[in-house]
Amino acid sequence: MPVPLLDVNAQNHPLATELEAAFQRVLQSGQFIMGPDVPAFEQECKDFTGVPHNLGVSSGTDAILLALMALGIGPGDEVIVPAFTFFATAGCVTRVGATPVFADVCPVCFNLDPAHAASLITPRTKAIIPVHLFGQMADMDAIMALAKQHNLYVIEDAAQAFGATYKGKPAGSIGHFGCYSFFPSKNLGALGDAGLLATNDASLYEKARILRTHGMKPKYYHQEVGANFRLDSLQAAFLRVKLQHHSTYTAARQANAARYTSLLASTEGVTIANPTDCQCITKQDLRHQSSSPRIILPVAYPNNSHTWNQYTLRVLGEGRRNALKAHLQSHGIGCEIYYPLTLDRQPCYKSLPYCSDLSIAHRLAEEVLSLPVYPELTSAQQDEVITILQSFCLNPSN
């Protein structure tokens, strides 16, 4: 039985009647740009972002770009970003003319290492962008303390973590801005591109709101150069339908992740990541970590509510991750490497002068493999993934 990595149809098709009604409402209204569904969606997002000011935008990438623009970050400024993330986190920094400075990450939660970030701060550092990768929040207490000490802005890239929490606080509600993506593969998926920018700060919100429409206030008078970062009324209408089911989807992802962990943990050569390693493992230890155990399962820290946008294994041993990927794919199991090349090694960033130790990020790029964890995954499908994965582990030649 083939199992896809993600099945957007399994989520959207059962909502066809509601989504078609939303489409009809927007079609009949004729208000395709900034119609009433946009502010209504922004209001409804408060339940998940936990902040008073929410701005619907064209994508998660544009949310990050708009946050940087609203904070006035530009040429001559440095912004610290994790080396192990989706490209947009750093690409937006470059697009405003600033320089991304790459920090290493934690081998347990895959997120920005605050101690390494601290070592990268210079007089030019203006901001730090923690990414809540795969649906688990970064160590925000340490990041906020660092930011306070050095007077830095914090932009949370919560593209994969809408609805996640850290010590009870929602992703995107702790820094100056929270940025979310509703790309179809994210936990709240639109029927196209969409995103959200959230902030507690009324004046930053007002600035971002004006920049979202070309810096225009009043109409046809431009105080600043903005751009077109608007969320379509149609996507807002679709997202309002899906937002009502978001908590159910999250619970299903959490149940799937828990089931993987409980069924896989007893397999020969498989272990669960140890949360305490985040604080005390040294890069040296990691390099010398033996190849037994050979597969490490992801873990949620007790103070986090993890939303499991991805369920990501570490497969130790040279070439073994790629071998497992090939094995799963040859049996029709969808899986993907998020991400195969760290940002410091991207061709477009070759010219950045860079010399800090990113060895954990580099190692993760060789080891990670994400399995299907989407809400509609059935037990039978998940059992199939587990059986095929175990057949790899139990084969002595692997």
Ligand X SMILES: *Cc1c(COP(=O)(O)O)cnc(C)c1O
Q: Which residues bind ligand X (CB under 6 A)?
A: 59-61, 85-86, 88-89, 131, 157, 159-160, 181, 183, 193, 195
State which residue, 157 or 336, has the beta carbon closest to ligand X.
157
State which residue, 181 or 233, has the beta carbon closest to ligand X.
181
State which residue, 250 or 382, has the beta carbon closest to ligand X.
250
Residue 60: CB minimum distance to ligand X, A: 3
Query: How far apart are alpha carbons 230 and 298 in whole angstroms?
Result: 36
Going by their DSSP bridges, the two strands 195-199 and 295-297 should be labelled as unpaired
Residue 167: CB minimum distance to ligand X, A: 21
Residue 2: CB minimum distance to ligand X, A: 25
State which residue, 125 or 370, has the beta carbon closest to ligand X.
370
What is the Cα Rg of the chain in Å? Answer: 21
Q: What region, left, alpha or beta, does residue 135 occupy, with left being phi > 0 and alpha being psi -120 to 50 degrees?
A: left
Residue 88: CB minimum distance to ligand X, A: 4
Residue 61: CB minimum distance to ligand X, A: 3
Query: How far apart are alpha carbons 349 and 224 in whole angstroms?
Result: 29
State which residue, 26 or 64, has the beta carbon closest to ligand X.
64
State which residue, 308 or 392, has the beta carbon closest to ligand X.
308
Taking CA atoms, 360 is separated from 116, 157, 290, 356, in Å, by 11, 20, 15, 12
State which residue, 62 or 384, has the beta carbon closest to ligand X.
62
Q: Please provide residue 371's backbone torsions phi and psi, each rounded to the nearest 5 degrees.
A: -105, 160
Closest CA to 127 of 175, 84, 180: 175
State which residue, 139 or 157, has the beta carbon closest to ligand X.
157
Residue 193: CB minimum distance to ligand X, A: 6
Query: How far apart are alpha carbons 183 and 161 in whole angstroms?
Result: 12
State which residue, 368 or 389, has the beta carbon closest to ligand X.
368
70 HSE (CA, 13 A, CB side): 31
Residue 217: CB minimum distance to ligand X, A: 26
Residue 131: CB minimum distance to ligand X, A: 5
Residue 257: CB minimum distance to ligand X, A: 18
Residue 188: CB minimum distance to ligand X, A: 11
Query: How far apart are alpha carbons 3 and 250 in whole angstroms?
Result: 20
- Which residue number places its CB atom closest to ligand X? 60
